[in-house]
Amino acid sequence: MSIFEYNGSALVAMVGKNCFAIASDRRLGVQLQTIATDFQRISKIHDRLFLGLSGLATDAQTLYQRLVFRHKLYQLREERDMKPETFANLVSAILYEKRFGPYFCQPVIAGLGDEDKPFICTMDSIGAKELAKDFVVAGTASESLYGACESMFKEDMEPEELFETVSQALLSSVDRDCLSGWGGHVYVVTPTEVKERILKGRMD
Amino acid sequence: MECVFGLVGNDFAVVAADTSAVHSILVHKSNEDKIMVLDSHKLIAASGESGDRVQFTEYIQKNVALYQFRNGIPLTTAAAANFTRGELATALRKNPYSVNILLAGYDKETGPSLYYIDYIATLHKVDKGAFGYGSYFSLAMMDRHFHSGMTVKEAIDLVDKCIMEIRSRLVVAPPNFVIKIVDKDGAREYAWRESVKDAAVA
C-alpha cells in the first residue's frame, strides 16, 4: 500500500462568488483500521486563509506546525497576515526543501486575497503548485472528487448554494472510497464570516 | 503480540496492557510492566520493540521531570503528549523508535484525557484507543459498550470484557494483563489479571 494511502483522506476546495468553501472528511485510519472519526484535516492560518493537508497524518501535523511557526514570524515582522498567494509559495518552498526525502502530504490552500477575490490551489508532495479557478481536490478519494466536482460545479455560486454543492460532491466521493469518510467538515468563508459545519454521511 | 488499550471515564482514564515479554517464540517473562507512571497524574502505556519501548518512555519520563524541576509546575497531559509526538517525529527520519503509545492523564482544569500516539508520530486525542492485534477485539468491544461518563466499575467491567475477548479469540493471546488508572488522586496500579503465574525463583 502506498504511504499516501496509509491514513486515508479527502479534501476539496471550491470557489464561489466572493467566497470559497473548503471541506474534508473526518476519518483517521491506520490502513484498514479506523482509529478516530473526528480528525481535523483543515486548519485556519488566519481569518481569510485555510489550509487542508491530506496524506500521511504525522507529516501533515509536522508540516502544519512548521507553517504556523513561519506565519507567526511573518506576522511579527510584517505586522499583517500573509496573502494566500504568498502562503502558497511558502508551502511550495518548504515542500521542495525536502525534495529527496519529502513530506508525504498534499496540501490544499484556500483564501480570500486582495479585493476579497477567492484563491485556491493544491500542490503535490514536492511543491508543484496547481492553481485553479473553480475547484481543487486531494486525498485518497481525489479521483472520485474530480468527477463529482466537475459535474456539480457552477460559476459564481452564492455561499449557501456553494455549501450544498461542496457537501454533495464530498459525500458522494468518499462513499466510493473505503479509506475516507465518516462524515464531513465544511468551512464556507465570505469576507464577513466563516461558517463551519459538520456533515453526517454514511458512517462506514 | 502486544495488546494495549485504554478509555476515558467520567473523571478518570484507565489503560490496560499485556505483561508478556516475548522474543520470537520464547516468552522471557509474563509479568513485565508496560505501563509507566510518567508523573503523579500521567500514565504512558507503550507497545512495540522492547528496547525502544523502555528507552523512549524513560527518556520522556526524565524530560517531563526536568520540566517540573526547571519550571516548578508539572506539564499538562496535552503538553506531554505533544512533546512525546515531537520526539518521535524528530527521530522518524533519522533513527525511528518502534513504539506505540497511549498517554493517559488527569488535569485539574480539563479533567481526564487519553492520547493515541502512533510509532510514526501521529497524535490524536481519543476517548478510547488500542494498539496491536488485540486492538481488533478490544476496539470492537469498546465500540459496543463504551459511553461517555462511565463510572470506574463500568469501565473496569469493560476492560475485563476486552481482556476476555482477547484471551478467547487471539491465537497467541497474552495470559496476563495489568490495569492502571489515573484520576484526581493520581496515577496508580489498579489490578493485575493473571491467568498464568510465573514460577517462583527457587
Per-residue pLDDT tens, chain B, 202 aa: give them.
789 999 999 999 999 999 999 998 999 999 999 999 999 999 999 999 989 999 999 999 999 999 999 999 999 999 999 999 999 999 999 999 999 999 999 999 999 999 999 999 999 999 999 999 999 999 999 999 999 999 999 999 999 999 999 999 999 999 999 999 999 999 999 999 998 776 665 5
Q: For chain B, give the DSSP string.
A: ---EEEEE-SSEEEEEEE--EEETTEEEES----EEEEETTEEEEEEE-HHHHHHHHHHHHHHHHHHHHHHSSPPPHHHHHHHHHHHHHHHHTTS---EEEEEEEEETTTEEEEEEE-TT--EEEESEEEESTTHHHHHHHHHHH--SS--HHHHHHHHHHHHHHHHHH-TT--S-EEEEEEETTEEEEEEEE-SSPPPPP-
Residue pLDDT, tens place only, A29-88: 999 999 999 999 999 999 999 999 999 999 999 999 999 999 999 999 999 999 999 999
Residues 76-95 of B with CB under 8 A from A: 85, 89, 92-93
- Interface contact A36-B118, CB threshold 8 A: no
Contact (CB, 8 A) for A196 and A54: no
Residue B126's beta-bridge partner residues?
A: B114
- Tell how strand B35-39 and strand B26-29 pair up: unpaired
For the segment A102-115, the average pLDDT, to the nearest whole number, is: 97
For the segment A83-100, the average pLDDT, to the nearest whole number, is: 98
Pairwise CA distance, residues A20 & A163, whole Å: 9
Pairwise CA distance, residues B104 & A128, whole Å: 40
Q: Looking at beta carbons, which residues of chain B come within 8 Å of A33?
A: 135-136, 139
The ipTM of this complex is: 0.93
- Interface contact A36-B139, CB threshold 8 A: no
Burial class (CB in 10 A: 0-12, 13-18, 19+), B70: exposed
Of B89, B93, B116, the CB nearest to A35: B116
Residues 6 or more apart whose Cβ sits within 8 Å of residue A178? A8
C-alpha cell at A204: 462506514
Q: Which of B83, B116, B122 to mutate: most A Cβ within 10 Å?
A: B122
Q: Which residue has the cell 490496560?
A: B16
Q: Which residue has the cell 524530560?
A: B63
For the segment A77-106, the average pLDDT, to the nearest whole number, is: 97
Pairwise CA distance, residues B112 & B127, whole Å: 10
